[in-house]
Chains A and B, each alone.
Chain A
Amino acid sequence: MCLAIPSKVVEIKGAVATIDVHGVRRDINITLLPEEIGIGDYVLVHAGFALQKIDREAGDDAIKLINEVLEGD
Protein backbone atom coordinates (compact mmCIF):
# COMPACT_ATOMS: atom_id res chain seq x y z
CA MET A 1 0.00 0.00 0.00
CA CYS A 2 2.52 2.53 1.14
CA LEU A 3 5.42 1.41 -1.01
CA ALA A 4 7.37 4.30 -2.43
CA ILE A 5 9.74 2.92 -4.99
CA PRO A 6 12.91 4.58 -6.35
CA SER A 7 12.46 4.48 -10.11
CA LYS A 8 14.56 5.56 -13.10
CA VAL A 9 13.09 8.13 -15.47
CA VAL A 10 13.48 7.03 -19.10
CA GLU A 11 11.11 9.40 -20.93
CA ILE A 12 9.33 12.67 -20.19
CA LYS A 13 6.25 14.00 -22.03
CA GLY A 14 4.76 17.04 -20.33
CA ALA A 15 3.15 16.00 -17.04
CA VAL A 16 3.86 12.34 -17.64
CA ALA A 17 7.13 10.45 -17.32
CA THR A 18 7.92 6.85 -18.13
CA ILE A 19 9.83 5.05 -15.40
CA ASP A 20 11.78 1.83 -15.46
CA VAL A 21 12.02 -0.41 -12.42
CA HIS A 22 14.11 -3.50 -13.14
CA GLY A 23 12.86 -3.59 -16.73
CA VAL A 24 9.20 -2.93 -15.93
CA ARG A 25 7.98 0.34 -17.44
CA ARG A 26 4.99 2.46 -16.57
CA ASP A 27 3.77 6.01 -16.90
CA ILE A 28 3.62 8.22 -13.83
CA ASN A 29 2.47 11.75 -13.15
CA ILE A 30 5.18 14.27 -12.32
CA THR A 31 3.11 17.39 -11.57
CA LEU A 32 3.75 17.18 -7.80
CA LEU A 33 7.52 17.26 -8.18
CA PRO A 34 8.94 20.49 -6.77
CA GLU A 35 11.95 20.48 -9.10
CA GLU A 36 12.77 19.76 -12.72
CA ILE A 37 13.85 16.26 -13.60
CA GLY A 38 15.70 14.81 -16.55
CA ILE A 39 16.18 11.46 -18.24
CA GLY A 40 18.27 9.19 -16.02
CA ASP A 41 17.15 10.80 -12.76
CA TYR A 42 15.66 8.64 -10.03
CA VAL A 43 12.36 9.58 -8.44
CA LEU A 44 10.39 8.23 -5.51
CA VAL A 45 7.05 6.97 -6.87
CA HIS A 46 3.86 6.28 -4.95
CA ALA A 47 0.41 5.43 -6.35
CA GLY A 48 1.27 6.78 -9.79
CA PHE A 49 2.84 10.04 -8.63
CA ALA A 50 6.50 11.01 -8.43
CA LEU A 51 6.92 12.52 -4.96
CA GLN A 52 10.55 13.51 -4.88
CA LYS A 53 13.70 13.38 -6.91
CA ILE A 54 16.23 11.09 -5.26
CA ASP A 55 19.31 13.09 -4.40
CA ARG A 56 22.19 10.88 -5.46
CA GLU A 57 24.77 13.20 -3.93
CA ALA A 58 23.01 13.22 -0.57
CA GLY A 59 22.92 9.43 -0.89
CA ASP A 60 26.63 9.33 -1.50
CA ASP A 61 27.08 11.69 1.44
CA ALA A 62 25.16 9.32 3.64
CA ILE A 63 27.34 6.42 2.58
CA LYS A 64 30.43 8.48 3.29
CA LEU A 65 28.94 9.23 6.68
CA ILE A 66 28.26 5.55 7.32
CA ASN A 67 31.83 4.72 6.42
CA GLU A 68 33.24 7.51 8.55
CA VAL A 69 31.15 6.56 11.55
CA LEU A 70 32.20 2.98 11.16
CA GLU A 71 35.78 3.53 10.16
CA GLY A 72 37.17 2.60 13.53
CA ASP A 73 35.18 -0.62 13.44
Chain B
Amino acid sequence: MITESIYRDKTVVEKIIRQIRRISLKRPVKIMHVCGTHENVINRFGLRDLLPEGVEVIAGPGCPVCVCTAQDIEFAFELAMKKKAVIATFGDMINVPSSVGSLNNAKTQGADVRVVYGPFDAVRIARENPKKQVVLFAVGFETTACGVASIVQQSNLPENFSILSSHRLIPPSMEFLLGVGDLRIDGFLIPGHVVTVMGLAQYKLFPEAYRMPTIAAGFEPVDVLLGVMAAIKQINQGIAKCENVYRRAVHDKGNIKAQMAIKEVFDVVPAYWRGIGKIPRSGLRLKERCKMQDARYRFDTAETWDLGLGAGICPSPASSPQSLPLNDINPGCSCHLIMIGKIKPLDCPLFGNTCVPEAPYGPCMVSMDGTCRVWYKYKRFKI
Protein backbone atom coordinates (compact mmCIF):
# COMPACT_ATOMS: atom_id res chain seq x y z
CA MET B 1 0.00 0.00 0.00
CA ILE B 2 1.36 3.36 -0.99
CA THR B 3 0.51 5.19 2.18
CA GLU B 4 1.19 2.33 4.62
CA SER B 5 4.96 2.93 4.70
CA ILE B 6 4.46 6.42 6.04
CA TYR B 7 3.24 4.93 9.31
CA ARG B 8 6.76 3.61 9.84
CA ASP B 9 8.51 6.68 8.53
CA LYS B 10 11.41 7.73 10.73
CA THR B 11 10.90 11.45 10.08
CA VAL B 12 7.23 11.29 11.03
CA VAL B 13 8.08 9.32 14.17
CA GLU B 14 10.72 11.89 15.14
CA LYS B 15 8.27 14.72 14.57
CA ILE B 16 5.61 13.14 16.77
CA ILE B 17 8.16 12.44 19.50
CA ARG B 18 9.22 16.12 19.39
CA GLN B 19 5.55 17.11 19.69
CA ILE B 20 5.09 14.80 22.67
CA ARG B 21 8.22 16.19 24.33
CA ARG B 22 6.87 19.70 23.93
CA ILE B 23 3.78 18.94 26.01
CA SER B 24 4.63 20.07 29.51
CA LEU B 25 3.21 17.38 31.72
CA LYS B 26 1.49 18.47 34.89
CA ARG B 27 2.32 15.10 36.45
CA PRO B 28 3.65 11.71 35.38
CA VAL B 29 1.11 9.76 33.30
CA LYS B 30 0.50 6.06 32.93
CA ILE B 31 -1.27 4.81 29.82
CA MET B 32 -2.37 1.20 29.54
CA HIS B 33 -2.80 -0.69 26.30
CA VAL B 34 -4.64 -4.01 26.24
CA CYS B 35 -3.21 -5.63 23.13
CA GLY B 36 -0.34 -8.02 22.53
CA THR B 37 0.20 -6.56 19.07
CA HIS B 38 0.64 -3.10 20.59
CA GLU B 39 3.23 -4.54 22.99
CA ASN B 40 5.01 -6.10 20.02
CA VAL B 41 5.11 -2.84 18.05
CA ILE B 42 6.26 -0.87 21.11
CA ASN B 43 9.17 -3.26 21.68
CA ARG B 44 10.06 -3.94 18.07
CA PHE B 45 10.48 -0.26 17.34
CA GLY B 46 11.84 0.70 20.77
CA LEU B 47 9.04 3.23 21.27
CA ARG B 48 9.29 3.24 25.09
CA ASP B 49 12.86 4.51 24.85
CA LEU B 50 11.71 7.43 22.71
CA LEU B 51 9.04 8.65 25.12
CA PRO B 52 9.99 11.39 27.58
CA GLU B 53 10.33 10.79 31.29
CA GLY B 54 6.97 10.86 33.00
CA VAL B 55 5.16 9.09 30.16
CA GLU B 56 4.74 5.41 30.89
CA VAL B 57 2.97 2.94 28.64
CA ILE B 58 2.11 -0.35 30.34
CA ALA B 59 0.70 -3.62 29.02
CA GLY B 60 -2.66 -4.92 30.28
CA PRO B 61 -4.37 -8.25 29.65
CA GLY B 62 -4.14 -8.20 25.86
CA CYS B 63 -3.12 -11.78 25.22
CA PRO B 64 -6.06 -14.17 24.74
CA VAL B 65 -3.79 -17.20 24.92
CA CYS B 66 -2.40 -16.03 28.28
CA VAL B 67 -5.80 -15.40 29.88
CA CYS B 68 -7.30 -18.72 28.75
CA THR B 69 -7.65 -20.75 31.94
CA ALA B 70 -5.66 -23.89 32.69
CA GLN B 71 -9.02 -25.64 33.21
CA ASP B 72 -10.02 -25.09 29.59
CA ILE B 73 -6.64 -26.37 28.42
CA GLU B 74 -7.07 -29.40 30.68
CA PHE B 75 -10.51 -30.00 29.19
CA ALA B 76 -9.08 -29.87 25.66
CA PHE B 77 -6.26 -32.15 26.81
CA GLU B 78 -8.77 -34.69 28.15
CA LEU B 79 -10.81 -34.52 24.95
CA ALA B 80 -7.69 -35.24 22.94
CA MET B 81 -6.40 -38.03 25.20
CA LYS B 82 -9.53 -39.77 26.48
CA LYS B 83 -12.16 -39.03 23.85
CA LYS B 84 -9.62 -39.28 21.02
CA ALA B 85 -10.97 -36.07 19.53
CA VAL B 86 -8.92 -34.07 17.06
CA ILE B 87 -8.15 -30.72 18.71
CA ALA B 88 -7.68 -27.87 16.27
CA THR B 89 -6.42 -24.62 17.76
CA PHE B 90 -4.45 -21.48 17.04
CA GLY B 91 -0.63 -21.50 17.08
CA ASP B 92 0.49 -20.50 20.54
CA MET B 93 -2.26 -22.37 22.33
CA ILE B 94 -0.59 -25.75 21.99
CA ASN B 95 2.37 -24.78 24.18
CA VAL B 96 0.54 -23.25 27.15
CA PRO B 97 1.18 -25.26 30.33
CA SER B 98 -1.58 -26.68 32.54
CA SER B 99 -1.58 -29.13 35.44
CA VAL B 100 -1.74 -32.05 33.02
CA GLY B 101 0.71 -30.56 30.54
CA SER B 102 0.31 -28.65 27.31
CA LEU B 103 -1.58 -29.77 24.21
CA ASN B 104 1.81 -30.30 22.64
CA ASN B 105 2.54 -32.83 25.41
CA ALA B 106 -0.72 -34.57 24.48
CA LYS B 107 0.46 -34.65 20.90
CA THR B 108 3.76 -36.26 21.84
CA GLN B 109 1.70 -38.91 23.67
CA GLY B 110 -0.13 -39.72 20.46
CA ALA B 111 -3.11 -37.35 20.57
CA ASP B 112 -4.21 -35.63 17.37
CA VAL B 113 -3.64 -31.91 17.99
CA ARG B 114 -3.41 -29.59 15.02
CA VAL B 115 -2.57 -25.94 14.59
CA VAL B 116 -4.95 -24.05 12.32
CA TYR B 117 -4.82 -20.56 10.86
CA GLY B 118 -8.55 -19.92 11.07
CA PRO B 119 -11.84 -21.62 11.96
CA PHE B 120 -12.43 -22.74 8.37
CA ASP B 121 -9.36 -24.97 8.54
CA ALA B 122 -10.91 -26.79 11.51
CA VAL B 123 -14.15 -27.35 9.56
CA ARG B 124 -12.12 -28.73 6.65
CA ILE B 125 -10.34 -31.16 9.01
CA ALA B 126 -13.76 -32.33 10.24
CA ARG B 127 -14.93 -32.93 6.66
CA GLU B 128 -11.78 -34.87 5.87
CA ASN B 129 -12.12 -37.02 9.01
CA PRO B 130 -15.82 -37.91 9.21
CA LYS B 131 -15.20 -40.75 11.68
CA LYS B 132 -13.43 -38.53 14.21
CA GLN B 133 -14.77 -35.81 16.49
CA VAL B 134 -13.06 -32.53 15.64
CA VAL B 135 -13.05 -29.77 18.26
CA LEU B 136 -12.02 -26.22 17.50
CA PHE B 137 -10.47 -24.89 20.72
CA ALA B 138 -11.38 -21.27 20.03
CA VAL B 139 -9.52 -18.60 21.98
CA GLY B 140 -9.39 -14.94 21.10
CA PHE B 141 -11.11 -11.64 21.62
CA GLU B 142 -13.91 -10.09 19.55
CA THR B 143 -11.74 -10.07 16.41
CA THR B 144 -11.53 -13.86 16.41
CA ALA B 145 -14.99 -14.52 17.84
CA CYS B 146 -16.77 -12.98 14.84
CA GLY B 147 -15.08 -15.42 12.46
CA VAL B 148 -16.02 -18.38 14.67
CA ALA B 149 -19.58 -17.03 14.89
CA SER B 150 -19.67 -16.80 11.12
CA ILE B 151 -18.91 -20.51 10.67
CA VAL B 152 -21.51 -21.50 13.29
CA GLN B 153 -24.07 -19.62 11.19
CA GLN B 154 -23.37 -21.98 8.29
CA SER B 155 -26.14 -24.48 7.81
CA ASN B 156 -23.97 -27.29 6.50
CA LEU B 157 -21.44 -27.75 9.29
CA PRO B 158 -20.25 -31.36 9.55
CA GLU B 159 -21.84 -33.28 12.43
CA ASN B 160 -18.51 -34.30 13.91
CA PHE B 161 -17.45 -30.67 14.39
CA SER B 162 -17.79 -28.73 17.64
CA ILE B 163 -16.34 -25.69 19.36
CA LEU B 164 -14.76 -25.20 22.76
CA SER B 165 -15.30 -21.47 23.16
CA SER B 166 -12.78 -19.67 25.35
CA HIS B 167 -13.54 -16.33 23.79
CA ARG B 168 -13.16 -13.25 25.96
CA LEU B 169 -14.28 -9.64 25.61
CA ILE B 170 -11.97 -6.65 26.04
CA PRO B 171 -14.08 -3.88 27.68
CA PRO B 172 -15.10 -5.87 30.81
CA SER B 173 -11.45 -6.60 31.61
CA MET B 174 -10.60 -2.88 31.28
CA GLU B 175 -13.41 -2.02 33.66
CA PHE B 176 -12.22 -4.71 36.06
CA LEU B 177 -8.72 -3.23 36.08
CA LEU B 178 -10.04 0.19 37.02
CA GLY B 179 -11.20 -1.44 40.25
CA VAL B 180 -7.65 -2.60 41.07
CA GLY B 181 -6.96 0.22 43.52
CA ASP B 182 -3.22 0.77 43.31
CA LEU B 183 -2.88 0.46 39.54
CA ARG B 184 -3.56 4.16 38.90
CA ILE B 185 -4.11 4.25 35.14
CA ASP B 186 -4.56 7.65 33.46
CA GLY B 187 -5.73 6.55 30.03
CA PHE B 188 -6.31 3.64 27.69
CA LEU B 189 -5.01 2.76 24.24
CA ILE B 190 -7.52 0.32 22.80
CA PRO B 191 -6.74 -2.21 20.05
CA GLY B 192 -7.69 -0.93 16.60
CA HIS B 193 -8.75 -4.29 15.17
CA VAL B 194 -11.12 -5.03 18.06
CA VAL B 195 -12.68 -1.60 17.57
CA THR B 196 -12.79 -2.26 13.81
CA VAL B 197 -15.25 -5.02 14.66
CA MET B 198 -17.08 -3.68 17.72
CA GLY B 199 -17.05 0.08 17.13
CA LEU B 200 -16.31 2.89 19.57
CA ALA B 201 -19.69 3.14 21.32
CA GLN B 202 -19.03 0.40 23.87
CA TYR B 203 -15.89 2.24 24.99
CA LYS B 204 -17.68 5.52 25.79
CA LEU B 205 -18.21 4.13 29.29
CA PHE B 206 -14.54 4.75 30.08
CA PRO B 207 -14.44 8.51 29.50
CA GLU B 208 -18.00 9.05 30.71
CA ALA B 209 -18.06 6.95 33.88
CA TYR B 210 -14.37 6.77 34.72
CA ARG B 211 -12.93 9.98 33.22
CA MET B 212 -10.46 7.87 31.21
CA PRO B 213 -9.14 9.19 27.91
CA THR B 214 -9.64 6.22 25.55
CA ILE B 215 -7.88 6.11 22.19
CA ALA B 216 -8.34 3.55 19.39
CA ALA B 217 -4.93 3.08 17.79
CA GLY B 218 -3.51 1.03 14.94
CA PHE B 219 -0.40 -1.11 14.81
CA GLU B 220 2.37 0.83 13.16
CA PRO B 221 4.80 2.98 15.19
CA VAL B 222 3.13 6.20 14.01
CA ASP B 223 -0.32 4.84 14.96
CA VAL B 224 0.80 3.97 18.49
CA LEU B 225 2.60 7.28 19.02
CA LEU B 226 -0.39 9.27 17.72
CA GLY B 227 -2.49 7.36 20.24
CA VAL B 228 -0.09 8.11 23.08
CA MET B 229 0.04 11.78 22.09
CA ALA B 230 -3.76 12.04 21.96
CA ALA B 231 -4.03 10.43 25.42
CA ILE B 232 -1.39 12.72 26.97
CA LYS B 233 -3.08 15.80 25.51
CA GLN B 234 -6.42 14.80 26.99
CA ILE B 235 -4.89 13.99 30.38
CA ASN B 236 -3.06 17.32 30.44
CA GLN B 237 -6.18 19.25 29.51
CA GLY B 238 -8.20 17.39 32.10
CA ILE B 239 -10.67 16.06 29.53
CA ALA B 240 -11.73 12.51 28.73
CA LYS B 241 -13.24 11.25 25.49
CA CYS B 242 -13.05 8.44 22.96
CA GLU B 243 -10.75 9.27 20.08
CA ASN B 244 -9.94 7.33 16.94
CA VAL B 245 -6.45 7.70 15.47
CA TYR B 246 -6.84 4.60 13.27
CA ARG B 247 -9.35 6.05 10.88
CA ARG B 248 -8.23 4.06 7.84
CA ALA B 249 -9.69 0.91 9.44
CA VAL B 250 -11.94 1.93 12.32
CA HIS B 251 -15.40 3.26 11.61
CA ASP B 252 -17.19 4.58 14.69
CA LYS B 253 -19.95 2.01 14.38
CA GLY B 254 -17.56 -0.85 13.73
CA ASN B 255 -18.55 -3.78 11.54
CA ILE B 256 -22.27 -4.29 12.17
CA LYS B 257 -22.36 -7.56 10.23
CA ALA B 258 -19.61 -9.03 12.42
CA GLN B 259 -21.31 -7.74 15.58
CA MET B 260 -24.58 -9.36 14.50
CA ALA B 261 -22.80 -12.68 13.91
CA ILE B 262 -21.42 -12.65 17.47
CA LYS B 263 -24.81 -11.67 18.88
CA GLU B 264 -26.69 -14.38 17.04
CA VAL B 265 -24.37 -17.18 18.06
CA PHE B 266 -23.03 -16.32 21.52
CA ASP B 267 -24.39 -15.35 24.92
CA VAL B 268 -22.32 -12.97 27.03
CA VAL B 269 -21.55 -14.74 30.31
CA PRO B 270 -19.26 -14.36 33.34
CA ALA B 271 -15.87 -15.90 32.66
CA TYR B 272 -12.63 -16.70 34.42
CA TRP B 273 -9.41 -15.13 33.21
CA ARG B 274 -6.20 -16.94 33.99
CA GLY B 275 -4.38 -15.24 36.85
CA ILE B 276 -7.05 -12.57 37.16
CA GLY B 277 -10.22 -14.33 38.29
CA LYS B 278 -13.87 -14.12 37.42
CA ILE B 279 -14.97 -11.07 35.43
CA PRO B 280 -18.69 -10.43 34.88
CA ARG B 281 -20.00 -10.39 31.30
CA SER B 282 -16.57 -11.07 29.84
CA GLY B 283 -16.92 -14.40 28.04
CA LEU B 284 -18.76 -15.78 25.03
CA ARG B 285 -20.67 -19.03 25.37
CA LEU B 286 -22.53 -20.66 22.48
CA LYS B 287 -26.26 -20.07 22.68
CA GLU B 288 -28.66 -22.81 23.71
CA ARG B 289 -29.81 -23.34 20.13
CA CYS B 290 -26.18 -23.83 19.02
CA LYS B 291 -25.48 -26.36 21.75
CA MET B 292 -24.93 -29.19 19.30
CA GLN B 293 -21.87 -27.29 18.20
CA ASP B 294 -20.77 -26.70 21.81
CA ALA B 295 -18.01 -29.12 22.83
CA ARG B 296 -18.81 -28.53 26.51
CA TYR B 297 -22.34 -29.80 25.91
CA ARG B 298 -21.37 -32.56 23.52
CA PHE B 299 -18.74 -34.11 25.76
CA ASP B 300 -20.22 -33.34 29.14
CA THR B 301 -23.66 -33.49 30.61
CA ALA B 302 -23.13 -30.93 33.37
CA GLU B 303 -25.78 -28.26 33.14
CA THR B 304 -23.94 -25.57 35.02
CA TRP B 305 -20.42 -24.40 34.62
CA ASP B 306 -18.69 -21.08 34.32
CA LEU B 307 -16.80 -20.21 31.21
CA GLY B 308 -13.16 -20.94 31.80
CA LEU B 309 -13.71 -23.80 34.22
CA GLY B 310 -13.40 -26.54 31.66
CA ALA B 311 -16.36 -28.86 32.18
CA GLY B 312 -17.51 -31.63 34.49
CA ILE B 313 -14.81 -34.09 33.54
CA CYS B 314 -12.21 -31.83 35.18
CA PRO B 315 -12.02 -31.27 38.94
CA SER B 316 -13.93 -28.14 39.76
CA PRO B 317 -12.23 -25.39 41.74
CA ALA B 318 -13.34 -23.56 44.85
CA SER B 319 -16.64 -21.84 44.24
CA SER B 320 -15.83 -18.50 45.89
CA PRO B 321 -16.14 -15.87 43.16
CA GLN B 322 -13.00 -14.13 44.35
CA SER B 323 -10.77 -17.19 44.38
CA LEU B 324 -8.64 -18.01 41.38
CA PRO B 325 -9.30 -21.26 39.60
CA LEU B 326 -6.95 -23.98 40.77
CA ASN B 327 -3.70 -24.70 38.94
CA ASP B 328 -3.83 -21.40 37.12
CA ILE B 329 -0.59 -19.82 38.25
CA ASN B 330 2.35 -21.97 39.31
CA PRO B 331 4.05 -21.16 42.63
CA GLY B 332 6.61 -18.41 42.14
CA CYS B 333 5.16 -17.32 38.77
CA SER B 334 4.33 -13.60 38.41
CA CYS B 335 2.10 -13.85 35.33
CA HIS B 336 -1.01 -12.78 37.29
CA LEU B 337 0.73 -9.48 38.14
CA ILE B 338 2.30 -9.01 34.72
CA MET B 339 -1.05 -9.54 32.97
CA ILE B 340 -2.64 -6.61 34.77
CA GLY B 341 0.39 -4.36 34.33
CA LYS B 342 1.21 -4.28 38.01
CA ILE B 343 4.80 -5.40 37.52
CA LYS B 344 7.09 -5.75 34.50
CA PRO B 345 8.70 -8.97 33.28
CA LEU B 346 12.05 -7.70 34.58
CA ASP B 347 10.59 -7.63 38.09
CA CYS B 348 9.99 -11.39 37.95
CA PRO B 349 12.99 -13.39 39.23
CA LEU B 350 12.16 -16.25 36.86
CA PHE B 351 12.14 -14.13 33.69
CA GLY B 352 14.90 -15.21 31.34
CA ASN B 353 16.27 -17.67 33.90
CA THR B 354 14.01 -20.60 34.60
CA CYS B 355 11.26 -19.16 32.40
CA VAL B 356 12.23 -18.92 28.73
CA PRO B 357 10.24 -19.41 25.49
CA GLU B 358 11.72 -22.90 25.03
CA ALA B 359 10.53 -23.91 28.52
CA PRO B 360 7.86 -21.43 29.62
CA TYR B 361 6.93 -21.55 33.30
CA GLY B 362 3.96 -19.20 32.97
CA PRO B 363 1.53 -18.39 30.14
CA CYS B 364 2.97 -14.89 29.44
CA MET B 365 6.19 -16.52 28.17
CA VAL B 366 4.33 -18.75 25.70
CA SER B 367 2.32 -16.64 23.33
CA MET B 368 3.75 -14.18 20.80
CA ASP B 369 1.33 -11.72 22.43
CA GLY B 370 2.48 -12.48 25.98
CA THR B 371 4.32 -9.59 27.59
CA CYS B 372 7.20 -11.78 28.83
CA ARG B 373 7.64 -13.47 25.47
CA VAL B 374 7.68 -10.09 23.70
CA TRP B 375 10.21 -8.64 26.14
CA TYR B 376 12.38 -11.76 25.80
CA LYS B 377 12.22 -11.65 22.00
CA TYR B 378 13.36 -8.06 21.86
CA LYS B 379 16.05 -8.69 24.46
CA ARG B 380 14.54 -6.48 27.10
CA PHE B 381 16.37 -8.28 29.85
CA LYS B 382 19.36 -7.61 32.04
CA ILE B 383 22.53 -9.43 31.05
Contacts and interface: CB of A to CB of B under 8 A. Distances in A.
Contact of B3 (A33, A48, A56, A73): A56
B196 A1 contact: no
A67 to B, nearest CB: 9
Interface string A39-73: 00010101111011011101111110010011001
A24 interface: no
Contacts of A62: 245, 247-248
B247 A61 contact: yes
A1 B121 contact: no
Interface of B: 1, 3-4, 6, 12, 15-16, 18-19, 35-37, 62-65, 90-92, 117-121, 139-141, 143-144, 146-147, 150, 191-193, 196-197, 219, 222, 226, 245, 247-251, 255-258, 261, 367-369
13 contacts: A2-B193, A4-B37, A4-B192, A8-B1, A31-B150, A49-B146, A51-B196, A51-B255, A52-B196, A54-B249, A59-B248, A61-B247, A70-B15
A14 interface: no
Contacts of B12: 66, 70
A3 B118 CA distance: 12
Contacts of A59: 3-4, 247-248
Contacts, number: 130
B64 A1 contact: yes
Interface of A: 1-4, 6, 8, 29, 31-34, 42, 44, 46-49, 51-52, 54-56, 58-63, 66, 69-70, 73
A52 B251 contact: yes
Given A2-B141, A2-B369, A48 B255 contact: no
Given A1-B369, A2-B193, A66-B226, A46 B144 contact: yes
A22 to B, nearest CB: 11
A46 B367 CA distance: 17
B64 A46 contact: no
Contact of B36 (A1, A31, A32, A55): A1
A26 to B, nearest CB: 8
Contacts of A2: 35-37, 62, 64, 140-141, 143-144, 191, 193, 369
A29 B91 CA distance: 20
Given A6-B249, A33-B257, 10 more contacts: A2-B140, A2-B144, A6-B1, A32-B150, A47-B147, A60-B3, A61-B247, A62-B247, A66-B16, A70-B15
Nearest to A48: B118
Contact of A49 (B37, B150, B256): B150
A43 B62 CA distance: 23
Contact of A32 (B19, B139, B261): B261
A62 B3 CA distance: 10
B323 to A, nearest CB: 28
A31 B255 CA distance: 12
Nearest to B36: A2
A28 to B, nearest CB: 8
Nearest to B368: A1
A51 B197 contact: yes
A69 B37 contact: no
B43 to A, nearest CB: 15
Query: Which of B121, B192, B196: most chain A Cβ within 10 A?
Result: B196
